Chain A
Amino acid sequence: DAGVTQSPTHLIKTRGQQVTLRCSPKSGHDTVSWYQQALGQGPQFIFQYYEEEERQRGNFPDRFSGHQFPNYSSELNVNALLLGDSALYLCASSLGTRWGNTIYFGEGSWLTVV
């Protein structure tokens, strides 16, 4: 039973570029959330996808966008990269919107913006 998988694991981009990160949820899960984790901080919620729609969004600018595919996998896109976007980007998956469903995280994608 595969857990949450993310790709790529590491990448380096230049300011102003665009990046796409990918996530496959744990088998059987249909909800995907993305979090940003800066060095020395806890993860911060970016947005959540369920039934191919963005359901909830945290305090992130429109440069951050996403998509969920029919197979429940998801992408996170960040446009016009800033140095401050350098962080670990985590994908989390869960099942539906029921209370207290365990939320599992992937290993993350390390993004460095230079």
Chain B
Amino acid sequence: GESVGLHLPTLSVQEGDNSIINCAYSNSASDYFIWYKQESGKGPQFIIDIRSNMDKRQGQRVTVLLNKTVKHLSLQIAATQPGDSAVYFCAENIGGNTPLVFGKGTRLSVIA
């Protein structure tokens, strides 16, 4: 399928290592943050979310960290697997059902 991330920053990680993908956001009013994974030719897949009243949230093999002071969000993937290879986007909104604003995306490439 077509690729949606032809010229994105790329993070290359050895299989089994931990990955950290970073995202800077600009709107200090943002209240809710989501990480999405997008594989080639597919739509964004929800990974994990976090509210602005939290600074850390853990899921299965993933952790999201939020630093509101510097407006920074990160996604940590433990024991990265080849199936984790994809483009990762952070998204934010100001709460409720307001539109999501997406970051530029990072391509994660897992080296077997």
Contacts and interface: CB of A to CB of B under 8 A. Distances in A.
Interface of A: 4, 6, 31, 33, 35, 37, 39-45, 48, 50, 55-56, 58, 88, 90, 92, 94, 96-108, 110
Nearest to B89: A42
A108 B4 CA distance: 11
A48 B44 contact: no
Q: Which 4 A-B pairs have the closest CB atoms?
A: A42-B102, A45-B99, A105-B43, A97-B97
Nearest to B98: A56
A104 B96 contact: no
Nearest to A104: B46
Contact of B6 (A39, A58, A102, A104): A39
B6 A45 contact: no
Contacts of B7: 40
Contacts of A40: 4-8
A48 B97 contact: yes
Contact of A106 (B43, B101, B104): B43
B86 interface: no
B51 A105 contact: no
Contacts of B3: 39
B105 A42 contact: yes
Contact of B96 (A43, A58, A90, A98): A98
Interface string B84-102: 0000010100011111111
Given A99-B31, A100-B32, 16 more contacts: A39-B4, A40-B8, A41-B4, A43-B100, A96-B97, A98-B96, A99-B96, A100-B49, A102-B34, A102-B49, A103-B100, A105-B46, A106-B43, A107-B42, A107-B43, A110-B2
